[in-house]
Amino acid sequence: MSDEKLYELVCRVSKEIFGKDFQHKAYFNQRLRTTGGRYMLRSHHIEINPLVFEKYGMDELVGVIKHELCHYHLHIEGKGYQHRDADFRELLKTTNSPRFCSTLIERKTRKITKRYTYMCAKCSLSYNRKIRLNTQKYRCGRCYGELKLVSSVNLK
């Protein structure tokens, strides 16, 4: 889908759903990673992540456009346009717009390969850590006693 077709779609959705004209620019922004789209406060333009259309199709794209148009029209009218504002939430409900878009990128989870257990030599308080710590540098938080490495476990 081209930027021109996106602009036509935004204008059509604005006219049909909101009953108001969209008078600024709408275009795809390849650099958006985690968000479906964004409304620019200063220029009033709308940027859309092309992954929304590629991964989820037209229905999700229209949902993101409606969400951004909620920001747009409320901001133009001088009403509460932020996610936390009652005006914004109410307009989302009346236009049946989504509050969030679907996940665009899969987040990488870091696997923990070791666990370390330290114990205070004075008060016997134990500390579990993911990362090894320098026992010469750190002390017990309760009694300021010396820490000793009790065990390190390999997890896989």
Catalytic residue among 4, 8, 47, 68: 68
pLDDT at 73: 94
Query: Range with the lowest mean pLDDT among 7-21, 82-96, 97-111, 113-127?
Result: 97-111
Residue 42: which pLDDT band, with cuts at 50, 70 and 90?
Answer: very high
Structure tokens at 67: 């969400």
Across 64-78, average pLDDT:
93
Residue 104 is assigned to a structural domain of this protein: no
Residue-wise pLDDT for 24-34, tens only, equals 999 999 998 88
Residue 146: which pLDDT band, with cuts at 50, 70 and 90?
Answer: very high
Residue 22 is part of a domain; what is its CATH number?
3.30.2010.10
Residue 130 is assigned to a structural domain of this protein: yes
106 belongs to the catalytic site:
no
> Which range marks the domain in which residue 137 is found?
114-154
Question: Is 114 strand, coil or helix?
Answer: strand
